[in-house]
């Protein structure tokens, strides 16, 4: 096992982040500047605005990560950066910065897959134990992944349309809540009642794929019909009915995968891992089976560079380096 001190950079969406990570599991520094307040005004992330804001703060965020780690660039073994998937203009800011640093200081450059990063956020809390199933739930992703070993990812299911966080944000907007609406829908769901009987979308028997756009349309149509009939819309009940449908399907498919693949470790990552309904249901089901559930703390669930530095340690061991031709990629296989 080689030792590593890695400077990592993440700019795939609306967080500008840099971190210094030792041996894949020790956070020496972890800086994040979020653009959430800017995008709130537009009701969602505006790609061009995101790119410009990354440019404005990138250098400072990297400097802070080194300063707070009490390190100079010469103390660093390699530079890691999110290569994709994500917003292309946003990714390019991180990739260009990483290339400049790697080239000028003659350090290896490690390209990282964003979803691989989300999974390794768990490794910063407790070493990953294999085999495992990972459920990734964020504003851009909904995936079930089976892992037999480090860096060995098998995607067994993914969304065919909206990501789960995206569905939350759209439903939130429909009932008049500000972006990002996920946390607020979650809060209302704790106090409402499941009165609206929204569909549970299971797709073909045995499939681990997801689909949330039909559920989103069902919510919009129900509200539209109620308005036309002048019926009262109880936001809390919409939230509970929607959340119950989402959680039942996410948890149902995840637990089927846990059983079929015979794993005793389930990990969850991405911004929607903060959802109380989802956490409670997964805790209950994993307890019943007697298997271990890991969910990182919230600051490691949402986009950050520490998770990029964690997986980069394992890529560093395998010398999975890139040359200066590295480019950002809006879509990229895991």
Question: 38 burial class (0-12, 13-18, 19+ CB within 10 angstroms)?
Answer: middle
Residue number, 36 or 233, with CB nearest to ligand KG4: 36
Residue number, 31 or 303, with CB nearest to ligand KG4: 303
Chain-centroid distance, C-alpha 62:
21
* 108: partner contacted, choices Zn ion, ligand KG4, none (Cβ within 5-8 A by kind): none
Task: Out of 270, 296, 309, 328, name the contact with ligand KG4 by CB under 6 A.
Answer: 270
| Secondary structure letter of residue 272 according to DSSP | G
Task: Out of 6, 7, 9, 13, name the contact with ligand KG4 by CB under 6 A.
Answer: 13
* 296: partner contacted, choices Zn ion, ligand KG4, none (Cβ within 5-8 A by kind): none
Residue number, 94 or 108, with CB nearest to ligand KG4: 94
Annotated ligand binding at 117? The verdict is no
Instruction: State the number of binding residues for ligand KG4 (CB under 6 A).
Output: 19
Rounded-to-integer distance, Cα 158 and Cα 149, Å:
20
Element (H, E) at 22: strand 15-22
Q: Which two tokens stand for residue 285?
A: 């089901």
Q: Does 302 bind ligand KG4 (CB under 6 A)?
A: yes
For strands 5-10 and 132-137, give the pairing: unpaired
For strands 78-84 and 5-10, give the pairing: parallel
> Across-strand partners of 267?
134, 294
Residue number, 24 or 182, with CB nearest to ligand KG4: 182
Chain-centroid distance, C-alpha 253:
18
Q: Does 168 bind ligand KG4 (CB under 6 A)?
A: yes
Contact 297, 324 (CB under 8 A): no
Q: Which stretch binds ligand KG4 (CB under 6 A): 176-184, 214-222, 225-233, 253-261?
A: 176-184
Q: Which residues bind ligand KG4 (CB under 6 A)?
A: 13, 138-140, 165, 168-169, 180-183, 186, 270-272, 274-275, 302-303
Q: Which residues bind Zn ion (CB under 5 A)?
A: 138, 303
């Amino acid at each position: 096992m080689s030792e590593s001190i890695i400077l990592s950079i993440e700019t795939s969406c609306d967080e500008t982040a840099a971190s210094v990570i030792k041996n894949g599991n020790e956070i020496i520094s972890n800086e994040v500047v979020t653009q959430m307040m800017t995008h709130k005004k537009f009701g969602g992330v505006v790609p061009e605005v995101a790119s410009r804001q990354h440019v404005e703060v990138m250098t400072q965020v990297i400097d802070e990560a080194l300063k707070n780690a009490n390190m100079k660039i010469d103390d660093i073994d390699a530079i890691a950066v999110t290569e994709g998937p994500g917003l292309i203009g946003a990714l390019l800011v991180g990739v260009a910065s990483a290339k400049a640093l790697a080239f000028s200081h003659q350090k290896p450059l490690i390209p990282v897959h964003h979803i691989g990063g989300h999974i390794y956020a768990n490794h910063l809390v407790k070493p990953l134990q294999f085999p495992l199933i990972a459920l990734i739930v964020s504003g851009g992703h909904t995936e079930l992944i089976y892992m037999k070993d480090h860096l060995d990812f098998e995607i067994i299911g993914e969304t065919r349309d909206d990501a789960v966080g995206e569905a939350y944000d759209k439903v939130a907007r429909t009932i008049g809540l500000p972006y990002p609406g996920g946390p607020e829908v979650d809060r209302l769901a704790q106090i409402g009642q499941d009165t609206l009987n929204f569909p549970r979308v299971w797709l073909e028997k045995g499939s681990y794929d997801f689909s949330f756009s039909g559920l989103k349309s069902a919510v919009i149509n129900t509200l539209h019909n109620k308005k036309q009939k002048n019926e009262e819309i109880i936001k809390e009940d919409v939230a509970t009915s929607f959340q119950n449908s989402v959680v039942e399907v996410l948890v149902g498919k995840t637990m089927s995968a846990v059983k079929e693949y015979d794993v005793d470790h389930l990990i969850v990552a991405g911004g929607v891992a903060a959802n109380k309904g989802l956490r409670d249901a997964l805790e209950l089901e994993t307890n019943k089976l007697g298997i271990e559930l890991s969910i990182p703390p919230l600051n490691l669930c949402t986009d950050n560079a520490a998770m990029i530095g964690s997986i980069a340690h394992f890529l560093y061991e395998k010398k999975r380096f890139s040359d200066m031709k590295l480019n950002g990629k809006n879509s990229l296989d895991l």
